[in-house]
Amino acid sequence: MAPLHGPYESALAAFDRGQWPQAHALGEQLLARGRDDAELRFVVGASALQLGNVPAAILHLRRGVELAPKRADLASQLARALIMAGAWQEAVAVADAGMALDGLDSQSCATFGVVYVQANLHDRATAAFARAVEMAPNHPGYRFNLATSLMFDGEFEAAERECARCIALNPRNWRAFLLRSQLRRQRPERNHIDELQGVLSRTAGDPEAELHLRLALSKEYEDVGRYDEAFDQLARGKSVHRRHVAYDSARDAKDIHALMRGFDGCTGEGEGCPSREPIFVLGMPRSGTTLLDRVLSAHPRVQSAGELEHFEMALRREVGLARGAHEELADVLMGSRLDWSRLGQRYLDSTRPTTGALPHFVDKMPHNFLFAGFIAKALPNATIVLVKRDPMDACLSNFRQLFAPGMPRFDYSYDLLDVGRYYLLFERMVAFWRARLPGRIHEVQYEDLVRDQAPFTRALLAACGLEWDDACLAPEKSRASISTASAVQLRAPINDASIGRWRRYGARMDALRRLLADGGIAVPAEDAA
């Protein structure tokens, strides 16, 4: 068959310009006319992925890999599509095979690194990012990814060096400024405050720069004890992004109340999957869930699986709703008859291959508090641990943290009172599960654990059906990666330094205290010790 140069070249040109709909449409036309080669499958598959059509992307990219099994770019995009679809095991297998290809390029290598991160395989991710940097040492994005991965691994000095190199290569990589500030406690004689102020003064009107630079300044001001300035920079930085987020706490309220109705409105059959492997650690974000994960995974019979989206995805697959708000999910759940055993097994299977090496694994997705009842039904022998923290500290910690921008579940975190309103919804959901699942959830108070570690750790292990092991008293000795915002502080021995942090900010916290108190939350007295 004669090559179709005109449409083919037009499809490639549209792809190179980032014109995804045009590239995809032209490519589909060529496929319909009988042309089938690896480059065309790459164009159509990668364009479909950019357009959010993950099933079509997998179809075309898988065919492309069949046609050209030595092309790393095809393999990397297929692995990316598979991880987006929740096909973790196949995604990792494709990434592993791609990393072994002779013609591996730096961009594909970096993409495999991202796939490994999303699969919670952080050792492999660090190796992939390091290799990408080796191949393209002047690429600032690769250096930033490597810095982040090194932070997860506890290699803070190396991570700081990579941040410095990233900033030198691209002085507008604002995320690198923030990461650099977070890697260690800044001191009066050694900090970046003057530099950050200077850069900030030259970036007026750039909301992304303001967000990251002001949060970096806030972190460094707090480290050196300048708390008023720290809070001012935090509030100003967060408010910049808040103006670009269409957040309304009523939306979260609707979703949470809908899930309550959905749980009460659905029925089920079977006794659930009998596995005792999973230990779910859930709670309000920034409440100590990572600490619990580290304590538990220090046990020789327990591994950490990280923060998994898998249970919600398994539930959605069970009812045939791949996407949509929680309110939509709840509408489908109403009147549904769930096969609890199949749901539990579906979840368990989806966690492979990162689980199964030890008798137990920890899934520490905090937002699983939304699905605790479904987890209890689908996995009746799994342990569910709820972590609670002083509400003022929990709210401040959420406000201080820059979660992944663009993830709607964290849109509440750009305003302190929005955080307070979200906390009230969290408490409402916890009360709902307590009423529906009496005695089923083991609750841990963060402050109790860090102030008197041994007895509360012993009770935690007993609740998980685990024998005592002294290693659980020193989780900081573990070299396992920590891929959360707690990556720096949890490399130190357990301590109570974060308790009562909110008191540093005095009257600036009064509005939050009133909001929580009016919502029925017992908050500590302002002048309490």
Distances (CA, A) of 182 to 245, 263, 332, 395: 24, 40, 42, 19
For 390-427, the pLDDT digits (tens) are: 999 999 999 999 998 778 899 999 999 999 999 999 99
Q: Are 368 and 282 in contact (CB under 8 A)?
A: yes
Residue 328 tokens, joined: 């939509």
- Give the pLDDT confidence score for residue 495 in this predicted structure: 77
Q: Is the pTM of the predicted complex or chain greater than 0.85? A: yes
pLDDT of residue 408: 86
Sequence-distant (6+) residues with CB within 8 A of 59 are 45
AA identity, residue 503: R
pLDDT at site 491: 57
> How far is residue 27's CA from residue 55's CA, in Å, rounded to a whole number?
16
> What's the CA gap between 270 and 329, in Å, rounded?
21
pLDDT value, residue 1: 40
CA-CA distance, 288 to 475, in Å (whole number)? Answer: 13
The CA-atom distances, in angstroms, between 3 and each of 27, 29, 30, 35 are 14, 14, 10, 8
State the Cα–Cα distance between residues 37 and 4, nearest whole angstrom: 12
pLDDT of residue 529: 47
pLDDT in tens, 21-34: 999 999 999 999 99
For the chain, the structural domain boundaries read 249-518
Note whether 112 and 76 are within 8 A (CB). yes
- Secondary structure letter of residue 411 according to DSSP: G
CATH superfamily of this structure's domain 249-518: P-loop containing nucleotide triphosphate hydrolases (3.40.50.300)
Q: In the block, which residue shows the tokens 């009107």? A: 205
For residue 5, give Cα distances in angstroms to 30, 31, 42.
10, 14, 17
pLDDT at 4: 44
Neighbours of 341 (CB within 10 A): 19
In contact, 450 and 494? CB cutoff 8 Å? yes
The answer to whether the beta carbons of residues 301 and 315 sit under 8 Å apart is no
- The tens place of each residue's pLDDT in the chain, 529 residues long, gives 444 457 889 989 999 999 999 999 999 999 999 999 999 999 999 999 999 999 999 999 999 999 999 999 999 999 999 999 888 889 999 999 999 999 899 999 999 999 999 888 889 999 999 999 999 999 999 999 999 999 988 899 999 999 999 999 999 999 999 999 999 999 999 999 999 999 999 998 899 999 999 999 999 999 999 999 999 999 999 999 898 888 899 999 999 999 999 999 998 888 999 999 999 999 999 999 999 999 999 999 999 998 999 999 999 999 988 778 888 999 899 888 999 999 999 999 999 878 999 999 999 999 999 999 999 999 999 999 999 999 999 999 999 999 987 788 999 999 999 999 999 999 999 999 999 999 999 999 999 999 999 999 999 999 999 999 999 998 877 766 565 555 566 556 777 888 999 999 999 999 999 999 999 999 877 665 4
